[in-house]
Structure 1
Amino acid sequence: MHMTPLMKLEHIDKQFPGVKALTDVNIEFYAGEIHALVGENGAGKSTMIKIILSAYKPTAGKIYYEGKEIQLTGPLEASALGIEAVHQELMLVPYLSVARNIFLNHEPKRPGTGLFDVREMERRAKELLEGFGVCIDVTRPVKEFSASVWKMIDIARVVNLKPRMIIFDEPTAILSEREVDSLMKKILELKREGVAIIYISHRLQEIEKLADKISILRDGHHVGTMSGEGMNEEEIVKRMVGRDVSSFYSRRINPQGEELLRMEHVNLKKGQKDISLNVHRGEIVGLAGLVGAGRTEVAESLFGMNRILSGEIYYRGERIRPRSVSAMINRGAYLVPENRKYEGLVLRFSVAANIALSAFGRWSRFFYNKKKETEKAEEMIHALSIKTPGRTQLVGNLSGGNQQKVVIGKAMVTESEFLIFDEPTVGVDVGAKEEIHNLMDEFVRKNGGILMISSDLPEIIGMCDRVYIMYEGKIVRELQREELSDKNIAGYMLGAKGGDGQ
Structure 2
Amino acid sequence: MPHPSSLIDMSDQPILQLRHISKRFGGLQALDDVDFDLREGESHALVGENGAGKSTLMRILSGVYSEYDGEFLLDGQPHRFKSPAEALARGIGMIHQELSVMPELSVAENIFLGRQPLTPLGTVDWRLMNERAAAELANLGFPDVDVRRPLELYSLGIQQVVEVLRVITSGARVLIMDEPTSALSPAEVEHLIMVIDALRAQKRSIIYISHFLEEVMRVSDRITVLRDGRKVATLKRDETNANHLISLILGREIDAQLPSAAERPTNQVMLSVRNLTSDAFRGINLDVGMGEIVGLYGAVGAGHFNVAKALFGLYRIDAGEIALDGEPFPRRFSARYAIKRGVAYAIESRRKSLFLEEPNYRNITLPHLDKIGGMIPRPQREIAIASPAMDRVNVQPNDPHSAVGKLSGGNQQKVAIARWITHPPKIFIVSEPTRGMDVGAKNEVLGILREFRNEGFAVLVVSSEPETVLAVCDRIIVMSRGRIVAEMANTDAVNKDTLMRLL
TM-score (normalised: structure 1): 0.90
**Aligned equivalents of 2:468 and 2:381: distance in 1?**
34
Q: Is the 8 A contact 2:410 2:445 kept in 1?
A: no
**Aligned equivalents of 2:488 and 2:474: distance in 1?**
9
Q: Does 1:345 align with 2:369?
A: no
For 1:223, the equivalent position in structure 2 comes to 232
Deviation at 1:58, TM superposition (A): 4.1
Deviation at 1:18, TM superposition (A): 2.2
Q: Does 1:42 align with 2:66?
A: no
- Give the counterpart letter for 1:335 in structure 2: Y
Describe the shift of the 1:191–1:18 C-alpha distance in structure 2 as closer, same or farther (beyond 3 A). Answer: same
For 1:116, the equivalent position in structure 2 comes to 124
For 2:470, the equivalent position in structure 1 comes to 461
Q: Does 1:8 align with 2:34?
A: no
- Give the counterpart letter for 2:378 in structure 1: N
Q: Does 1:213 align with 2:218?
A: no
**Aligned equivalents of 1:112 and 1:59: distance in 2?**
45
**Aligned equivalents of 2:92 and 2:249: distance in 1?**
27
Q: Does 1:262 align with 2:236?
A: no
- Give the counterpart letter for 2:380 in structure 1: K
Q: Is the 8 A contact 2:88 2:171 kept in 1?
A: no
Deviation at 1:171, TM superposition (A): 0.5
Q: Is the 8 A contact 2:369 2:375 kept in 1?
A: no
Q: 2:325 aligns with which of 308, 316, 321?
A: 316
**Aligned equivalents of 2:416 and 2:149: distance in 1?**
31
**Aligned equivalents of 1:301 and 1:389: distance in 2?**
33
- Give the counterpart letter for 1:45 in structure 2: K
Q: Which runs of 5+ in 1 are unaligned?
A: 494-502
SS at match of 2:501: helix
**Aligned equivalents of 2:100 and 2:244: distance in 1?**
34
Q: Does 1:417 align with 2:426?
A: yes
Q: Is the 8 A contact 1:4 1:66 kept in 2?
A: no
- Give the counterpart letter for 1:334 in structure 2: A
Deviation at 1:186, TM superposition (A): 0.8
Deviation at 1:176, TM superposition (A): 0.5
Q: Does 1:91 align with 2:100?
A: yes
Describe the shift of the 1:156–1:3 C-alpha distance in structure 2 as closer, same or farther (beyond 3 A). Answer: closer
Describe the shift of the 1:305–1:232 C-alpha distance in structure 2 as closer, same or farther (beyond 3 A). Answer: same
- Give the counterpart letter for 1:492 in structure 2: L
Higher mean alpha-carbon deviation, 140-149 vs 187-196, is at 140-149
Deviation at 1:147, TM superposition (A): 5.6
For 1:500, the equivalent position in structure 2 comes to none
For 1:450, the equivalent position in structure 2 comes to 459
Deviation at 1:338, TM superposition (A): 1.6
**Aligned equivalents of 2:261 and 2:444: distance in 1?**
15
Q: 1:78 aligns with which of 87, 90, 95?
A: 87
- Give the counterpart letter for 2:366 in structure 1: L
Higher mean alpha-carbon deviation, 211-220 vs 126-135, is at 126-135
**Aligned equivalents of 2:47 and 2:162: distance in 1?**
25
- The percentage of counterpart residues that share the same residue type is 35
Q: CA RMSD in A?
A: 2.6
For 1:489, the equivalent position in structure 2 comes to 499
Describe the shift of the 1:432–1:107 C-alpha distance in structure 2 as closer, same or farther (beyond 3 A). Answer: same
For 1:234, the equivalent position in structure 2 comes to 243
**Aligned equivalents of 2:255 and 2:397: distance in 1?**
28
**Aligned equivalents of 1:355 and 1:455: distance in 2?**
26
Query: Within 5 Å, which residues of 2 pair with 1:257-336?
Result: 257-268=267-278, 270-321=279-330, 322-336=332-346
Q: Which runs of 5+ in 2 are unaligned?
A: 1-9
Q: Is the 8 A contact 1:34 1:198 kept in 2?
A: yes
- Give the counterpart letter for 1:489 in structure 2: L
- Give the counterpart letter for 1:324 in structure 2: S
Deviation at 1:427, TM superposition (A): 0.6
SS at match of 1:308: coil
Deviation at 1:293, TM superposition (A): 1.3
TM-score (normalised: structure 2): 0.89
For 2:181, the equivalent position in structure 1 comes to 172
Q: Is the 8 A contact 1:96 1:142 kept in 2?
A: yes
**Aligned equivalents of 1:266 and 1:212: distance in 2?**
47
Deviation at 1:355, TM superposition (A): 2.6
Q: Is the 8 A contact 2:88 2:170 kept in 1?
A: no
Q: Is the 8 A contact 1:10 1:24 kept in 2?
A: yes
Q: 2:206 aligns with which of 179, 186, 197?
A: 197
* Deviation readout 1:237-277 (Å, 9 max, x if unpaired): 01110111242544414404521111112221x24111100
* Deviation readout 1:203-229 (Å, 9 max, x if unpaired): 100111111111110001111111111
Q: How many residues align?
A: 490
**Aligned equivalents of 1:327 and 1:200: distance in 2?**
41
Describe the shift of the 1:128–1:385 C-alpha distance in structure 2 as closer, same or farther (beyond 3 A). Answer: farther
For 1:496, the equivalent position in structure 2 comes to none
SS at match of 1:355: helix
For 2:3, the equivalent position in structure 1 comes to none
Deviation at 1:150, TM superposition (A): 4.6
**Aligned equivalents of 2:137 and 2:262: distance in 1?**
44
**Aligned equivalents of 1:305 and 1:363: distance in 2?**
24
Q: 1:476 aligns with which of 481, 485, 495?
A: 485
Describe the shift of the 1:381–1:124 C-alpha distance in structure 2 as closer, same or farther (beyond 3 A). Answer: farther
**Aligned equivalents of 1:391 and 1:7: distance in 2?**
42
SS at match of 1:368: coil
Deviation at 1:421, TM superposition (A): 1.3
Q: Does 1:53 align with 2:62?
A: yes
Deviation at 1:101, TM superposition (A): 3.1
Describe the shift of the 1:7–1:442 C-alpha distance in structure 2 as closer, same or farther (beyond 3 A). Answer: same
Deviation at 1:412, TM superposition (A): 3.8
